[in-house]
Chain A
Amino acid sequence: MPDFQPKTIQKLFIANRGEIACRTIRTCWEIGIRTVVGYSDCDALSYHVKLSDEAVHLGPSPAMLSYMDIGKVVDAARKTGCDAVFPGYGFLSENPEFARACRDAGLIFIGPTSEVIARMGDKIATKKALADAGVPIIPGLPKATSAEQLIAFGNDAGWPIMIKAVAGGGGRGMHRLDSADQAGAALERAVSASRKLFGSDEVYAEKYIRGARHIEFQFIADAYGGVIHLGDRECSIQRRHQKLVEEAPSSLLDDRLRNEMGRVVVKAAKEIGYVTAGTLEFLVAPDLRYYAIEVNPRIQVEHTVTEMIVGLDIIRMMIRMAVGTPLRFRQEEIRIGGHAIQCRVNAEDPRNDFAPSYGTVTYLRQVSGPFVRADSGILQGSEIPPFYDSLISKICSVGKDRPTAIERMRRALSEFNIWGVKTTIPLLKKIMVHPDFVSGRFDTDFIDEHLDELLDYVEDEDEILKISRFIAEITALGKNPYCR
Chain B
Amino acid sequence: MTIHPKKSPRENVAALRSDRRVYFTNTGPRDTGQSDFKNRHTLYDLIRLAPLYNRSGYFSIENHGGARFHQNLLQNMTDPFEEARLWKDRMPDVMTQTLVRSTNLWGYRMYPRNVIRLSVKAFLPYVDVWRCFDFLNYVPNMIPIAEEVTRGGKLFQPAISFGVSDDCTDAYYLNVTGEILGMTGGTEAIILCIKDMAGVGSPARIARLTDALLQKYPDLVIQYHRHATDGLAVPALAAAAKAGVKILDVTDDPFTRYYGHAPVRAVQALLTEMGIETSLDIPMVDQAAGEIAGFIGHYQEFESQFRGFSYQVTEHRMPGGAFPSSFEQADKGGFLPLMPYILRGMSTGNRFIKYFDVTPGSQITWTTWAGIIQYHYKEGGLKQVEDLLDLCGRFIANGRSPEDLKQEEKDILFGLYARATDDLKNLLLGKYGPLPFGWPADWVYQSVFGEAWREKIAKDRFEASPLARKPDEEIGRLREELQKKIERHPTEDELVLYLQHPGAAVDFIRFRTRFGDTSALPTGVWFDGLKEAGSEVTFETHGKPNTIKLISIGQEMDGVKHVVLSVNSTMHVFPVEMPSRKAARKAGPRFADPDVPGQVASPLMGNVWRIGDKDRLLKIGDIVKEGEEIVNIEAMKVETAVLSPIHGVIKEIAVKLNEAVVGKQLLMVLEELPPEDLKRNRRSKSGRKAR
Name A residues whose Cβ lies closer than 8 Å to a Cβ of B: 63, 170, 172, 196-197, 349, 352-353, 355-358, 362-363, 380, 386-390, 456, 458, 461, 463-480, 482-484
Contact = CB atoms under 8 A, between A and B. Distances in A.
B520 interface: yes
A386 B636 contact: yes
Nearest to A475: B529
Given A475-B563, A478-B529, A480-B529, 17 more contacts: A170-B690, A352-B604, A357-B605, A362-B573, A464-B516, A467-B517, A467-B541, A468-B572, A470-B516, A471-B529, A471-B548, A472-B565, A473-B574, A476-B529, A482-B511, A483-B76, A484-B75
Contact of A473 (B576, B635, B640): B576
B252 to A, nearest CB: 22
Interface string B563-583: 101011010111010110000
A482 to B, nearest CB: 6
B553 interface: yes
A456 B604 CA distance: 19
**Closest 7 A/B residue pairs (Cβ):** A466-B516, A474-B529, A355-B604, A472-B574, A475-B529, A356-B636, A476-B576
Given A471-B521, A476-B576, A464 B515 contact: no
B77 interface: yes
B561 interface: yes
A257 to B, nearest CB: 36
Nearest to B664: A352
B541 A464 contact: yes
Contacts of B565: 468, 471-472, 475
Nearest to A362: B572
Q: Which of A386, A389, A464, A467 has the most C-beta atoms of chain B within 10 angstroms of its own C-beta?
A: A467
Interface string B27-58: 00000000000001000000000000000000
A414 to B, nearest CB: 15
- The residue among A196, A388, A468 with the most chain B CB atoms within 10 A of its own CB is A468
B585 interface: no
B375 interface: no
17 contacts: A170-B690, A355-B635, A387-B637, A458-B488, A464-B516, A464-B546, A467-B520, A468-B565, A469-B515, A472-B563, A472-B574, A476-B529, A476-B563, A477-B576, A480-B529, A482-B75, A483-B75
Contacts of B526: 474, 480, 483
B306 interface: no
Given A355-B663, A467-B521, A477 B529 contact: yes
A466 B572 CA distance: 12
A352 B602 CA distance: 11
B44 to A, nearest CB: 12
Interface centre among B513, B527, B563, by most A CB within 10 Å?
Answer: B563
A476 B561 contact: yes
B522 to A, nearest CB: 11
Contact of B572 (A352, A363, A475): A363
Contacts of A464: 516, 541, 546, 567-568
B516 A479 contact: no
By DSSP majority rule, is chain A's interface helix, strand, loop, or mixed?
mixed
Interface in B513-542: 513-518, 520-521, 525-531, 537, 541
Given A355-B605, A470-B516, A363 B570 contact: yes
Nearest to B561: A476
A172 B634 CA distance: 18
B335 to A, nearest CB: 20
A467 B530 CA distance: 13
B636 A467 contact: no
A415 B532 CA distance: 34
B489 A456 contact: yes
- Interface SS of B by simple majority: mixed
Contact of A480 (B528, B570, B576, B689): B528
A45 to B, nearest CB: 15
B96 interface: no
A484 B579 CA distance: 15
B603 interface: yes
Contacts of A196: 689
Contacts of A463: 516-517, 541
Nearest to B537: A471
Interface string B603-642: 1111100000000000000000000000000111110100
Nearest to A63: B637
Contacts of A380: 570
A467 B521 CA distance: 9
B548 A355 contact: no
B127 interface: no
A229 B550 CA distance: 57
Contacts of A458: 488-489
A467 B574 contact: no
B636 to A, nearest CB: 4
B535 to A, nearest CB: 9
Contacts of A471: 521, 525, 529-530, 537, 548, 565
A390 B604 CA distance: 15
A483 B690 contact: no
Given A386-B636, A458-B488, A478 B528 contact: yes
A19 B234 CA distance: 75
Given A355-B604, A467-B515, A477-B576, A390 B689 contact: no
A172 B690 contact: yes
A467 B565 CA distance: 11
A356 B574 contact: no
Contact of B604 (A353, A473, A476): A353
A467 B511 CA distance: 11
Contacts of B638: 356
Contacts of A386: 606-607, 634-637
Contacts of B521: 467, 470-471
B574 A468 contact: yes
Contacts of A482: 75, 77, 511
A479 B528 CA distance: 4
Contacts of B528: 474, 478-480
A474 B537 CA distance: 13
Contact of A467 (B518, B531, B605, B635): B518
B99 to A, nearest CB: 22
A386 B639 CA distance: 12
B488 A474 contact: no
Residue of B77, B515, B537, B565 with most partner-chain A CB within 10 A: B515
Nearest to A240: B688
A352 B603 contact: yes
Nearest to B690: A172
B690 A465 contact: no
A14 to B, nearest CB: 21
B515 to A, nearest CB: 4
Contacts of A390: 636
A329 B77 CA distance: 66
Nearest to A360: B573
Nearest to A357: B605
B77 to A, nearest CB: 6
A122 B258 CA distance: 88
A43 B521 CA distance: 39
B550 A475 contact: yes
A388 B515 contact: no
A12 B516 CA distance: 48
Contacts of B574: 468-469, 472-473, 476
B563 A466 contact: no
A355 B76 CA distance: 35
Contacts of A465: 516, 567, 572
Nearest to B576: A476
B530 to A, nearest CB: 5
A387 B531 CA distance: 41
Most buried by B among A197, A355, A362, A386: A355
A32 to B, nearest CB: 35
Most buried by A among B520, B525, B568: B525
Contact of B603 (A353, A388, A470): A353
Q: Which of A170, A352, A353, A473 has the most CB atoms of chain B within a 10 A radius of its CB?
A: A473
